[in-house]
Amino acid sequence: MKIHFTLLCGWLLATAVVHAQDVTCVVSSASSTLFTQGTGAIWIACLNSSADSIRHDFPEGIDGTFVSGNQHYPVHLKRLADQPATATIPAGGFARCEYQFVIPPAAAGSMTLQLHDLNPVVLQVNRSPAPAAGAADAAAAPQTPKHPAPNAPREFFGPAVSGFIGNHISTYEPIYFLLGTYPAAEFQFSLKYKLLNFDSAWNPFGHTYFAYTQTSFWDLLNEDPSFYDTSYKPSAFLYYTNVTRSEALQLDLQGGVEHESNGRGGPEERALNTAYLQPTLRLALPAEFEFDVQPRVWGYLSKGHNNPDLAEYRGYGDLRCSFCRWIEDSNSQRAKQFELAARLRIGDHASHAGWLFDLRYNLPVSWKINPALDIQYFTGYGQTLRQYDQFSTGWRAGFCLWY
């Protein structure tokens, strides 16, 4: 398995070398606030990673698409008149150009602007406020917005700089807090960090993520509360979204390495390191329904000395399926109304199955974070990492902040 891990690292490095370009172009939003039936703007920054100066042309127009779920709206971006059509980029430097576009009338909420061979940009489009009396003529006058240029090296390569934190840190696995059968409480916290804020086509440097997930089981209702078990899962992976570029069928690809352990020490210590591949297939259905299929396969790079038989119970893969419906939430953003999800994990020799079911329903409240009611049921082997070789069942319910 160490040979497999070496081959995986070699493949990732070779992919990076093959796909790395002398000029990498990245897109960022230049408009802080967008409104329906208005105009917006973006910056395209091109970075020269070669040792020589490079001449780069900025096209006069670029065709793109506004995407929200199953809705696709074509949009045309036009280079502003005072922006350079051609730039000479010094070695290690960058050049940028501003483009303007008309927001599609039907676009509202959280929208993704997709451009060919450039990274997608998530934009928040608010509904246009009613014009004040006497302001109609002023609103009708043509305007050419001018936006301050972003600090490209800090925005695209820096860590979570104030003002750009949303470009690097985002949610990963579901975040929830549940109460039920022993051990009474279960909660999970999960975030991912995007290393570089660009993802030009297949360039792996712009698709590299680090993530951290913590799942804890807490004997909260005991007279002497204590944590029953906790899984700590740091990971590093490549993540490509919507590689199919299809309206009805979306394919996401993810692969990387992950560590998991419970940090208990002694005879109750459990630990493993894996390399995995996880495709996700999303099928859009009528009336904003969606069906997802997410298989995951892995190989063990190492196993803790207390759990050498882990593969017999956890196996080499699992399968997660979900059925959900999308709506526009109270904040005028596209969100899931409900989700029914099931995950099956089977041990080696098709034995020691473990089933996890979740039913989540978003509450119709006008909060900044819309929580969802979450009812969870588990039956089988491996409810916790400590119980990887034990059969157990559990019912819990509570709130899920993101899924």
* pLDDT: which is higher, 235 or 95: 235
Whether residue 18 is predicted with pLDDT greater than 70 in this model: the reply is: no
Domain borders along the chain are 22-157, 165-402
Overall fold of domain 22-157:
Immunoglobulin-like (2.60.40)
Mean pLDDT of 288-304: 96
Whether residue 2 is predicted with pLDDT greater than 60 in this model: the reply is: no
Encode pLDDT of 202-256 as tens digits.
778 888 999 999 999 999 988 889 999 999 999 999 999 888 867 788 999 999 9
Mean pLDDT of 376-402: 96
Encode pLDDT of 141-190 as tens digits.
444 444 555 554 444 444 433 333 446 888 999 999 999 999 999 999 99
CA–CA distance, 315 with 310 (Å, rounded to integer): 7
How much is the CA Rg of the chain, to the nearest whole Å?
A: 24
* pLDDT: which is higher, 8 or 312: 312
Token pair for residue 115? 């451009």
pTM above 0.85, yes or no: no
Whether residue 6 is predicted with pLDDT greater than 50 in this model: the reply is: no
What letter would DSSP give residue 104? P
* pLDDT: which is higher, 109 or 299: 299
Whether residue 376 is predicted with pLDDT greater than 90 in this model: the reply is: yes
- Is the domain spanning 165-402 CATH 3.30.1600.10? The answer is no
Look up tokens 């490509």; give the residue. 240
Collapsed DSSP state (helix, strand, coil) of residue 312: helix
Cα 107–108–114 angle (5° rounding)? 55
